[in-house]
Amino acid sequence: GNSVTQMEGPVTLSEEAFLTINCTYTATGYPSLFWYVQYPGEGLQLLLKATKADDKGSNKGFEATYRKETTSFHLEKGSVQVSDSAVYFCATPPYSGGGADGLTFGKGTHLIIQP
């Protein structure tokens, strides 16, 4: 089945720094790709998604582009804030072309933003 691999943290940045969290996927076909965020003490929230190659997902200043050439879906933000401190998960369905099954997640990247 499909899988994702993301860079492990923690990633520590200063406020207003540029952020990249790497995620690469292995898949048959072109499944949807997701970034979820987990703030301290809260549940997983969908941050953004892309449903086909070359799509760009964006939300709250974060962006990720579905790149089939490099099988990547890296998360970026131009200027991070302390409030962005959280754990970020890359995810994809285990099989392409179907939306019924559960998601396969990466191990998560803990982002720490220092003021």
Partner 1 sequence: GAGVSQSPRYKVAKRGQDVALRCDPISGHVSLFWYQQALGQGPEFLTYFQNEAQLDKSGLPSDRFFAERPEGSVSTLKIQRTQQEDSAVYLCASKNLGDTQYFGPGTRLTVL
Which residues bind to partner 1, rule: CB under 8 A? 32, 34, 36, 42-46, 49, 51, 89, 91, 93-94, 99-108
Token digits for 54?
Answer: 């070359």
Q: How far is the CB of 107 from partner 1 (least distance, A)?
A: 5
Nearest distance from C-beta of residue 99 to partner 1, angstroms: 4
Residue 3 or 79 with smaller CB distance to partner 1: 3
Min CB(115)–partner 1 separation in Å: 25
Rounded to 5 degrees, φ, ψ at 19 are: -115, 135
Query: Of 73, 84, 61, nearest to 13 (Cα)?
Result: 84
Nearer to partner 1 (CB atom), residue 65 or residue 109? 109
Biggest CA pair distance of the chain: 43
Residue 81 CB, nearest approach to partner 1 (Å): 23
Q: Measured from the CB atom, is 13 or 44 closer to partner 1?
A: 44
Question: Considering beta carbons, is residue 35 or 74 the nearer one to partner 1?
Answer: 35
Q: What are phi and psi of 102, to 5 degrees?
A: -65, 170
